[in-house]
């Protein structure tokens, strides 16, 4: 396997991981609106935004290559 094929494979894995993390963040962010306690809303919102940020970063990295 040459260097170009390896970079293509890395980009594909990064896009798949980013999409997975973004999809997993959606229920967490949706749970923000259904939480009863304010502390639960904050925890869900922060966790969802962190997941979206990491997933978006992987998507961007995979799209750049």
> Tens digits of per-residue pLDDT, 17-46?
999 999 999 999 999 999 999 999 999 999
Q: Which two tokens stand for residue 25?
A: 């963040």
**pLDDT grade for 7, boundaries at 50, 70 and 90:** confident
> Would you state the pLDDT for residue 63?
87
Distance (Å) of CA 48 to CA 5, 10, 24, 35: 33, 25, 8, 13
User: CA–CA separation, 17 vs 43, rounded Å?
Assistant: 23
Q: Are 59 and 36 in contact (CB under 8 A)?
A: no
> Would you state the pLDDT for residue 6?
84
Q: Which two tokens stand for residue 9?
A: 């494979």
How many C-beta neighbours within 10 Å does residue 63 have? Answer: 11
Task: Parse the chain into domains and list their residue ranges.
Answer: 18-64
């Amino acid at each position: 396997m040459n260097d170009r094929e390896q970079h293509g494979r890395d980009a594909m894995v990064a896009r798949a991981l980013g999409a997975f993390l973004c999809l997993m963040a959606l229920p967490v962010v949706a749970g923000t609106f259904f939480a009863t306690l304010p502390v639960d809303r904050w925890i869900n919102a922060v966790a969802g935004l962190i997941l979206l940020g990491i997933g978006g970063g992987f998507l961007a990295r995979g799209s750049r290559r």
